[in-house]
């Protein structure tokens, strides 16, 4: 989910998987994703490092909560996927690298996913498609493929969450950018949200438009008004 970039000294820590309360809940979904690709899951150290990244203390929104919400929604929509295993792996890795001082988080995350897939025996074509899926979460343009559209809609579904969850999300984004002065944050965050609201449609898939579009537009209008 895009925010805005601002220079600062990054606050990072080593991977800390044992501090992640959702590790037991997410483990079955991890193995299911690899089974969908007819591959064995990588060594446990890969999972531990990945979950540790999602549990880094500088994160507030881009956490295991967000990952779990994405995976849960995907299970509800997986019949719309052409390559469900690829979308699942892309979800696992799409915010694996997240540092608000960087401009290449998606590229670094996509590169990591590609390496993990190749090491597990996936074809170059599969690794390339997953890489492209993760890069689509930059939200720079409407995704070109059906799977990318589904993945991006899942990533953006928070915009159409019930108002209470959306308000929590906005507080979490503010906390991730706590180092940004209030006036600058309001300006930059408002621009991001207006960009979504000004789209002809926020969601590319019919299922997500029907489910989230109206609520997302209401949430965005309310958030923009509060920022103004």
**Residue-range definition of the domain harbouring residue 35:** 17-227
Question: Considering the entire predicted model, what is its pTM?
Answer: 0.89
Residue 5 within a domain: no
Chain centroid to Cα 131, Å, comes to 14
Q: What is the pLDDT averaged over residues 81-88?
A: 97
Residue 60 within a domain: yes
Contact by Cβ (8 Å): 203, 212: yes
Residue 81 within a domain: yes
Residue 8 within a domain: no
* CATH number of domain containing 210: 1.10.3210
| Distance of alpha carbon 5 from alpha carbon 185, whole angstroms | 10
Contact by Cβ (8 Å): 90, 34: no
| Distance of alpha carbon 225 from alpha carbon 29, whole angstroms | 38
How much of the chain exceeds pLDDT 90, in percent? Answer: 83
* Segment among 4-13, 40-49, 194-203 with least mean pLDDT: 4-13
Residue 179 has pLDDT above 80, yes or no: yes
Residue 12 within a domain: no
- Average pLDDT in the chain: 90
pLDDT at 27: 80
Per the structure, the count of domains in the chain is 1
How much of the chain exceeds pLDDT 70, in percent? Answer: 89
Q: How far apart, in Å, do the first and last CA atoms of the chain sit?
A: 21
Tell me the pLDDT tens digit for each residue of 158-171: 999 999 999 999 99
Residue 23 has pLDDT above 60, yes or no: no
Which residue is it, tokens 């059906």?
146
Residue 146 has pLDDT above 90, yes or no: yes
């Amino acid at each position: 989910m895009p925010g805005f970039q601002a220079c600062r000294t990054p606050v990072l820590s080593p991977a800390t998987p044992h501090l992640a309360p959702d590790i037991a809940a997410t483990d079955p979904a991890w193995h299911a994703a690899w089974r969908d690709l007819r591959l064995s899951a990588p060594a446990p150290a890969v999972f531990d490092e990945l979950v540790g990244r999602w549990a880094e203390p500088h994160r507030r929104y881009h956490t295991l909560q967000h990952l779990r919400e994405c995976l849960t929604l995907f299970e509800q929509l997986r019949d719309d996927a052409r390559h469900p295993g690829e979308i699942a792996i892309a979800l696992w890795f799409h915010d694996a690298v997240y540092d608000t001082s960087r401009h290449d988080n998606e590229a670094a995350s996509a590169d990591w996913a590609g390496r993990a897939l190749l090491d597990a025996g996936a074809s170059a074509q599969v690794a390339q498609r997953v890489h492209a899926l993760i890069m689509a979460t930059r939200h720079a343009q409407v995704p070109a493929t059906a799977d990318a559209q589904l993945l991006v809609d899942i990533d953006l579904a928070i915009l159409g969450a019930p108002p209470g969850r959306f308000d929590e999300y906005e507080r979490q984004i503010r906390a991730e950018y706590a180092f940004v002065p209030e006036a600058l944050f309001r300006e930059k965050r408002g621009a991001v949200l207006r960009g979504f609201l000004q789209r002809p449609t926020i969601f590319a898939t019919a299922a997500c438009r029907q489910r989230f579009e109206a609520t997302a537009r209401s949430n965005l209008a309310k958030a923009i008004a509060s920022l103004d």
